[in-house]
Structure 1
């Protein structure tokens, strides 16, 4: 999550949706914010008391954290945006990410089918800290009653154009979108990883994301 009081925006960062590129491209705006030093110091000092102020949030905080910790007027006036991604494509990205970054977790897994069965196994120990994409993307953008709180939802599939639109709404010239590391060994078409059974398993687990964001297994023409 990236908050800028000077430019009046809040970026909600969902993992594996291009968010690191967005954050790094917008970070200079935050560093030039006249409130940045005060926010940084207050955040560090408040942590000593065991009570963190809502001025600096963890990278993958949900928007409800900002709503609960920021003054209501401040939160309401922020331009709040997020980037989301097709759930089937996101799980392919997750597969390559974990295999690359934490291979010891997948020592018993050879195929993508096995990965999805392991990942969605209700008996598997809770491992959110290892793979945030097990959670619903929609959980990051709604309040406790399921109401969507963001003003703009960009899509990973349209990253450059939607990033430019977000910057236009912020009121700044869009900086060059920094590209982050992508898996070199993944196939371009995520659909090639799926059997009908595994595709249905992902559809069932991420049904609310599919409904809210309007995704389908086959990309829209």
Structure 2
């Protein structure tokens, strides 16, 4: 998640949409007062600009760090709301923190991806460390199978951003969004944080039964309606 006061834009980072690559690219546009949230250390080397900065804040609406973690000296996670700004942060919370004047005057953008394709990528990512990977069908029964992307860039049933781009046309859409925000210099998007696929030649459709296809359609009806995706 990035708030650029220098260019008056807000990037809301979604899951399995090359969000880390987008951040790596647009960090180079940021100034010293901009907010850049951290992500896993292994990917930080790929940033093309400023490192994480200004993301720790105190705010009356910020969740408090549990006392037991403080007493045990446990570190705060880079993705946890108690640090302030964090990577997959929903629009409503960003709005609370930056205030109405900033929220209403800055250009806000995010990205999403064909939900059937994204779901397979999520499954491969969440099960990559398993010695024996569960079947896709079995994984889809778990609470962790759900990807809350549309809840990040929507608020009160409507779109909370000015531009919602597609993963499938990522660099083109990113530069279109930046141009609308007033950034005149195009950026290139690096390949970072890519989930390895043991069966890269296998298309996402092959993972689905008709029942699983319909399950994804029910779960992600908002982004399907917004971007016109189909199976």
TM-score bracket, shorter-length normalisation: 0.7 to 0.9
**1:136/1:209 contact within 8 Å kept:** no
The DSSP-based 3-state class of the residue aligned with 1:46 is coil
Cα 1:9–1:93 shift into 2, 3 Å = same
SS at match of 1:103: coil
Alignment-derived partner of residue 184 in structure 1? 197
- Contact 2:91–2:160 (CA<8 Å) still a contact in 1? yes
Is the CA contact 1:3–1:56 (under 8 Å) kept in the aligned structure 2? no
In the alignment, which residue of structure 1 is the partner of 2:217? 203
C-alpha distance in structure 2 between counterparts of 1:161 and 1:98, whole Å? 28
Pair 216,34 (structure 1): closer, same or farther in 2 beyond 3 Å: same
2:58 counterpart of 1:58: no
Cα offset, 1:74, TM superposition? 1.1
Alignment pair present for 1:97 and 2:125? yes
Q: d(CA) in 2 for partners of 1:16 and 1:138?
A: 12
Q: How many residues align?
A: 194
Which residue of 1 is the match for residue 98 of structure 2? 70
Distance in 1 separating the partners of 2:91 and 2:121: 23
Residues 6/202 of structure 1: CA separation in 2 closer, same or farther (3 Å cut)? same
Q: In 1, distance between residues paired with 2:127 and 2:57?
A: 38
Identify the structure with the greater helix proportion.
1
The TM-score normalised by the length of structure 1 is 0.76
Q: Distance in 2 between matches of 1:79 and 1:152?
A: 8
Stretches of structure 2 lacking an aligned partner (at least 5 in a row): 36-51, 65-82
Decide whether the 8 Å contact of 2:16 with 2:122 is kept in 1. Answer: yes
